[in-house]
Amino acid sequence: MKGNGGENLRETLYGSGGGALRKYMRLSVGEGGLRALLGYELRILLFENVPGALGIALRRLFYRSMLGGAGRGIILGKGLTVRHPSKIFLGDNVAVDDYCSLDARGGPDARIEIGGGTVISRGSILRTKNGRITLGPGGSIGSHCILSSISSLEIGPNLLMASSCFVTAGGGHAFDRLDVPVAAQGMVSRGGVVIGENVWIGAHAVILDGVRIGDNAVIGACALVNRDIPACAVAYGIPARPVRDRRDNPAG
């Protein structure tokens, strides 16, 4: 499936559609209007970098109303980048550490949903380009991970993801034409990524578009996952291949 990957950052910043204020509005809050932009800017100015417990309390209080939905007990760290906040939905007790990015930029179908009790560690990025990211409850995303979607990224409950992983649901560029720069040829999706429940993904793993990872699977550190991994498999390598089934463990 080929598409433009949603709203292109270069076009948003440098295209001909509207003045500088309109372009910035499309980048930060979408089409919410000047009132939404002013509320967004005021919150960022006053509360984005307030440290400690006071900052957490203030962001919990004042960011809630600009999000699409927010449950009880959320924790939002300092330096958090939030784009198109009305398309971001957080369950109860979600914790997002310092200097993360939640970027739901794109068309009307763009959306980020994070299930209750999920922890997203320092410096991680969740971004859509007219796609969707859905994280089931009870997950743990390690530091400096990137989860990107131009189609659909679905993750089941109780994910354990170590640091510096990269998951892309779409985002590959078409490159067939030589007369057009690769960056101008649009993006290609192979159907998104589905990660089942209770999956453990080791540090620096890369999961490419079109992949399905079954429930209870384990993906080794530095693995390149470019094909489906069955449920309960232990897989590693470049490319990742199943090496055993967890159900064969005599210890249970």
Which residues carry out catalysis? 173
Long-range contacts formed by 101-105: CB under 8 A, 24+ apart:
101/125, 101/126, 101/127, 102/126, 103/127, 103/128, 104/128, 105/6, 105/7, 105/27, 105/30, 105/129
Q: Can you tell me the distance from the alpha carbon of 43 to that of 146, in angstroms, rounded to the nearest whole number?
A: 25
SS3 content of the chain, % helix, strand, coil (to 5): 20, 30, 50
Q: Can you tell me the distance from the alpha carbon of 136 to that of 118, in angstroms, rounded to the nearest whole number?
A: 8
Specify the residue for token string 């559609």: 17
Q: Can you tell me the distance from the alpha carbon of 191 to that of 96, in angstroms, rounded to the nearest whole number?
A: 28
SS3 of residue 64 by DSSP: helix
- Concatenating the DSSP letter of every residue in 34-58 gives HHHHHHHHHHHHHHTT--HHHHHHH
203, 221 Cβ separation under 8 angstroms? yes
Provide the b/e sequence for 70-79 (b: ≥16 CB within 10 Å): bbeebbbbbe
Q: Can you tell me the distance from the alpha carbon of 24 to that of 91, in angstroms, rounded to the nearest whole number?
A: 28
HSE (side-chain half, CA atoms, 13 Å) at 30: 23
